[in-house]
Amino acid sequence: MLKGEYYILLHPRPDVDCSFSVALLKNFSEIKIRGFLFGHEEEAKTKDVLCVDTGGKDFDHHGMVGMTSADLVAKALNLENEIWIQKILKFVKRADLKGVSLPFDVATIQKAITRKEGLSDEKAIEIGVRVAEDIINFAKEKLKRENSFGKETVNEFLKEKRKSPEIFLAYLNQLSKEKFERPLDIVEILTAEKKSKGEMEAKNFGKILLEFLFEDWEKYQFALKEAEDSQKIQVGKYLIISGQSDNPKFNVAARAKGGDIIIQKNKKGNVQIFFRRNIIDKKVAEKIIVNLRELEMVLGNKTPLKESQLLKEGWLENWYYFVGKAEEGKTADFFIFNGSLTASNVPPTRIPFPKIVEIVKKVIWF
């Protein structure tokens, strides 16, 4: 597996786990990467394809509790016990399994990259792998953070933009402190880039990453307005916010507006339902997915399945039900998707949007 020429299969919109897994394979194995494919199980059947974070084999961690694809790759390469990689693996696990990220860290940068309109998956993984390689070099070579260089780069970027978002100014303030550290952030990337490629190239690459973050901030500002103008339904102590938007930040903005359940429909007609962790019980999501899949089958002139079958995790009748594998004592994430950024080819639901909202309301009420 760790020798020969392979195409790497990744899921669309590659995330931070994909980038670090590929970077480790590229730099520490004897594999020659022929190119990248983006899809799921079907492409995995080809012999010269190596699966990373999808495909159901090789380095796909789904179904394993507490493991990421980067963990699997590190173990296969006998790197998992190296001191320099511990912080990286811990970071990827926190970002991928718990969805935790901080402003200007690699996870936030990667999310901003994948949300860039018109950017191909090939370009996204190319940038992501370069970022991951910088972080690996920073850790492996025990480089010293250059907060002043990071501050200088961010300041130059903001002068060029002629706009200073509060989140950028807050980060600049932190960078003013010599001892400030944020694991796997843009300063570590810039420090490694400067050492390997020189100051000018480091700044140029840093500004490319900052542009992704700036555009993502702009999306969030617009999403806040969308969420404010969206339908708000109070059912007991829970607030439902529903609206039509193609903005990938709508869910985050709606939560910031107090939403406990977010129902988002895009212009193609696909619907996504998000739940606030620790507030909404998993039984609520279970009742919703059963109702949606049953009605979807009726509208498609199919005989509905039994409730136990309608509760299946994963895809069924164009609805994806995700339940995270929570660590002991922790609350798992769960959500319901009829298509998503990584599954953009799923046909829109046949269920009218007002009916979906009604189903969610009734489940909560009863």
Is residue 317 within 8 A of residue 300, CB to CB? The reply is yes
Is residue 14 within 8 A of residue 127, CB to CB? The reply is no
CA distance 32 to 355: 51
Q: What is the CA radius of gyration of the chain?
A: 22
Query: How much is the pLDDT for 335?
Result: 92
Q: What is the DSSP letter of 103?
A: T
| ∠ CA 88-219-269, rounded to 5° | 100
Alpha helices in the chain (DSSP H): 16-28, 69-76, 83-98, 106-114, 121-140, 147-161, 166-175, 186-197, 199-229, 250-256, 282-299, 307-310, 353-365
Report the number of distinct structural domains present in the chain. 2
Q: Which domain-ending residue is among 77, 107, 140?
A: 140
Residue 363 CB coordination number (10 Å) = 19
How much is the pTM?
Answer: 0.84
Query: How much is the pLDDT for 325?
Result: 63
CA distance 296 to 153: 52
Tell me the three state secondary structure of residue 268: coil
Q: Which domain-ending residue is among 140, 172, 199?
A: 140
Which residues, in sequence order, are CB contacts of 130 under 8 Å at separation 6+? 205
Q: Are residues 242 and 127 in the same domain?
A: no
CA distances from 95 to 67, 107, 253 (A): 12, 6, 19
Is 308 within the bounds of a domain? yes
**Alpha-carbon dihedral angle through residues 353, 359, 361, 364, given to the nearest 10 degrees:** -140
Is 181 within the bounds of a domain? no
Question: In what helix (H) or strand (E) does residue 320 lie, and over which residues does it extend?
Answer: strand 319-323
Nearest in space to 313 (alpha carbons), one of 341, 335, 291:
335
Which residues, in sequence order, are CB contacts of 190 under 8 Å at separation 6+? 146, 149, 150, 153, 202, 203, 205, 206
Q: Are residues 132 and 238 in the same domain?
A: no
CA distances from 242 to 35, 164, 264, 271, 360 (A): 40, 31, 6, 10, 11
Is 155 within the bounds of a domain? no
Q: Domain containing 287 — which CATH number?
A: 3.10.310.40
67: tokens are: 């493991």
Query: How much is the pLDDT for 178?
Result: 87
Is 151 within the bounds of a domain? no
In the block, tokens 């059947």 appear at 45
Is 239 within the bounds of a domain? yes
Is residue 63 within 8 A of residue 73, CB to CB? The reply is no
Query: How much is the pLDDT for 295?
Result: 96
Query: How much is the pLDDT for 220?
Result: 95
Is 29 within the bounds of a domain? yes
* pLDDT (tens place) for every residue of the chain, 366 residues total: 578 899 999 999 999 999 999 999 999 999 999 999 998 766 666 678 999 998 888 999 987 888 999 999 999 999 999 999 999 999 999 999 888 899 999 999 999 999 998 999 999 999 999 999 999 999 999 999 999 999 999 999 999 999 999 999 999 999 999 899 999 999 999 999 999 999 999 999 999 999 999 999 999 999 999 999 999 999 999 999 999 999 999 999 999 999 999 999 999 999 999 999 888 888 999 999 999 999 999 999 999 999 999 999 888 999 999 887 655 555 567 899 998 755 667 899 999 999 999 999 999 987
CA distance 228 to 305: 38
Q: Are residues 7 and 127 in the same domain?
A: yes
Q: Which domain-ending residue is among 81, 105, 140?
A: 140
Query: How much is the pLDDT for 341?
Result: 59
Is 184 within the bounds of a domain? no
Query: How much is the pLDDT for 55?
Result: 85
Query: How much is the pLDDT for 339?
Result: 83
Is residue 243 within 8 A of residue 264, CB to CB? The reply is yes
Domain containing residue 319? 231-365
Q: Are residues 8 and 131 in the same domain?
A: yes
108: tokens are: 């936030």
Q: Are residues 32 and 133 in the same domain?
A: yes
| 94: exposed, middle or buried (Cβ count in 10 Å: 0-12, 13-18, 19+) | middle
Is 220 within the bounds of a domain? no
Give the distance, in angstroms, between the CA of residue 96 and the centroid of all CA atoms in the same chain.
Answer: 7
Q: Are residues 245 and 128 in the same domain?
A: no
Tell me the three state secondary structure of residue 48: coil
